[in-house]
Structure 1
Amino acid sequence: MSKKYPSLSPTLIERYLTHLREAERSSHTISKYAHDLTTFLNYLNGKPLTKANLIEWKSTLVASFMPTTVNSMLVAVNGYLSFMGWQNLKVNLLKIQKSIFTDESRELSHDEYIRLVNAAKIQENERLALVIQTICATGIRVSELRFITVEAVHLGRAEISNKGKRRIVFLPNGLRKLLTVYLHKQDKTSGAVFTTRTGRPLDRSNIWRDMKALCQSAGVDPKKVFPHNLRHLFARTFYSVDHDLSRLADILGHSNIATTRIYTAECGSVHAQQIEKLGLIIT
């Protein structure tokens, strides 16, 4: 009699994804897990789900992807294994030494942010210019843009509900004025401020695509241009004014302050300048 191994199939993947939905995990997380589990299923290609095959798959990932990407894929598979009660099959994540500096080649600067907004204005894409400013001036996630409603603009604050948590985000007066003018032009009296032609709230792919289209005219490296980098810029700018990490974590909706530290990490050149100012070299 052949040995029966734990298994992975489209049906079992869907069962796990249903569990994630019921746990109110974000749609982005669910989509990511679905992709990673399907990738692993395709790799198995009929082979049994064993610890040896998991370790072998991990090795192929290491050869093809960055460590952070590898770990994110392993987290998805480990989550499935835990859900199925197969903890003994889980594989260890790669150990990554955290850098105390950000990669300047990937972080959006304030000047580049301004150039992106101006490029959108020059292209007469008022909606995109305001989307960029709204995300950057509030620090919200791109998935939370739908909570910026006509009512929120009138009140000066939006109530954000994400990952089972609620928080209040205040809208700067300058942003409210710009959005009020925009709403008047659009003849919008209720609902989400930023919508498609069919009236649906803009999603991540709409915004990501439109932002990438600005890169050449704005003179900004495309690898720096994506919605989440606007959130990073907000965090760094806020922290430079108010060095209260705990408060910033609340504003961003972070459960773990360690995540907030990543957002506020300075670039290596800034650190080097600070070291030079210490005056500890005697000549």
Structure 2
Amino acid sequence: MQCTQHSLSGGMLTEYESHLWERECRPATVEKYLRDVKHFLEFLPWGKEVTKQDVLAYKQALSARYAPASTNSMLTALNDFLDWVGWSECRVKLLKIQRSLFCSGNRELTRAEYNRLVSAARHKGNARLDLLMQTICSTGIRIGELRFITAEAVNSGVAEVCCKGKTRPVLLCRELQKKLLKYCARQGIAQGPVFVTKNGTPLDRANIWRDMKRLCAEAGVDKKKVFPHNLRHLFARTFYNLEKDIVRLADILGHSSVETSRIYTMSSGQEHQRQLAALHLIL
């Protein structure tokens, strides 16, 4: 069978970037997709035209170097680019991955560890970080959605969160609302985002990540477990263990598919061991 060849032009990546922005992709998504496509182009010999065989060879090279999930993530970006440019016949299938029954306990934040992190922030007198962690962990919002926690939302008890072209209401429990009202009053925040820098700009991911890492030593928590998204995971596991309603959880988290929510609710290997022992099937 004859191999179809496609020529790359110099402006394709720039046009593809514009296309991603027009699709209202998140900045992190745009950055990742461009990086992954560039990685494929660097794999090709200089001036080489793109064929399906090239993409298959690239898939094999990725499989030899990266974990299956990482390989699939990079191929997803490349397939998206190939669809956009009109070379769909060059797309490749993703690797088949058996879904794990439980997650690694050395990466998941426990309730006790979360409590120690909040206590450490309070002990350091960092009320902003203290309440920021409680806000993410009690609502399940993404770190990028924190800017929607505004003084107006605190007053009403409901934040209108917009992400990936979808808007959803996020309820603030009464205890959190009370704490945030007091914080806003002390800080003189009458409107706009609650969690801001000294200059009044919303905190970014790097600020929050750095501040959380500084708590690890005092809290006695492994640094590998301490990052904002793990607070969202802890919310998801806690909610699911209480309610056992994966569909409602998906709605709360803003997931388009319950399959994504299932990843958030996986128990650790230690928890799985306890569940197996509780069956009492060994005589």
TM-score under structure 2 length normalisation: 0.92
Q: CA deviation at 1:108?
A: 0.6
Match of 2:37 in 1: 37
Residues 182 and 162 (structure 1 numbering): CA distance in 2 closer, same or farther, change over 3 Å?
A: same
Structure 2: tracts of 5 or more residues without a match: none
After superposition, the Cα gap between the structure-2 partners of 1:7 and 1:149, relative to the gap in structure 1 and judged at 3 Å, is farther
* Match in the other structure for 2:90: 89
CA contact (8 A) 2:4 2:51 kept: no
Rounded to whole Å, the distance in 2 between the matches of 1:76 and 1:22 is 16
Alpha-carbon distance in structure 2 between the residues aligned to 1:55 and 1:196: 47
Q: Could you tell me whether the CA contact under 8 Å between 1:137 and 1:234 is conserved in 2?
A: yes
Establish whether residue 148 from structure 1 lines up as the match of residue 149 from structure 2.
yes
Q: Whole-Å Cα distance in 1 between the matches of residues 271 and 138 of structure 2?
A: 23
Instruction: Give the counterpart letter for 1:247 in structure 2.
Output: R
Instruction: Report the more deviating stretch, 186-195 or 46-55.
Output: 46-55
Compared with structure 1, are the counterparts of its residues 89 and 171 closer, same or farther at alpha carbon in structure 2 (3 Å cutoff)? same
Q: 1:211 to 1:60 in 2, by over 3 A?
A: farther
Task: Output the amino acid matched with 1:37.
Answer: V
Structure 1 267/9 Cα, relative in aligned 2: closer, same or farther at 3 Å? farther
- Give how far 1:103 is off: 1.0
Partner-residue secondary structure (3-state), 1:200? coil
Residue of structure 1 in register with 2:27 after alignment = 27
Deviation at residue 9 of structure 1 after TM alignment? 5.8
Q: Match of 2:211, SS?
A: helix
Task: Give the 5 Å matches for 1:1-283.
Answer: 5-8=5-8, 11-44=11-44, 46=46, 47-282=48-283
Tell me the percent identity: 51
The code of the aligned residue for 1:268 comes to G
2: distance between equivalents of 1:159 and 1:116? Answer: 27
Which moves more between the two structures, 148-157 or 257-266?
Answer: 257-266
Distance 1:7 1:195, change over 3 A: farther
Deviation, structure 1 residue 268: 2.3
Aligned-CA RMSD value: 1.9
Superposition deviation, residue 157 in structure 1: 1.0
What letter matches 2:18 in structure 1? T
Distance change (3 Å), C-alpha of 1:127 and 1:7: farther
Distance 2:216 2:163 in 1: 30
Pair 40,217 (structure 1): closer, same or farther in 2 beyond 3 Å: farther
Q: Letter of the 2:230 partner, please give it.
A: N
Quote the Cα distance in structure 2 between the aligned partners of 1:61 and 1:117: 40
CA distance in 1, matches of 2:218, 2:51: 51
Q: Distance in 2 between matches of 1:164 and 1:40?
A: 29
Summarize the Cα distance change of 1:9–1:99 in structure 2 as closer, same or farther, 3 Å threshold. Answer: farther
Report if the CA contact (8 A) 2:4-2:52 is conserved.
no
Q: TM-score, normalised by structure 1?
A: 0.92
CA distance in 1, matches of 2:75, 2:134: 35
Contact 2:161 2:168 (8 Å CA) reproduced: yes
Shift of 1:20: 1.9
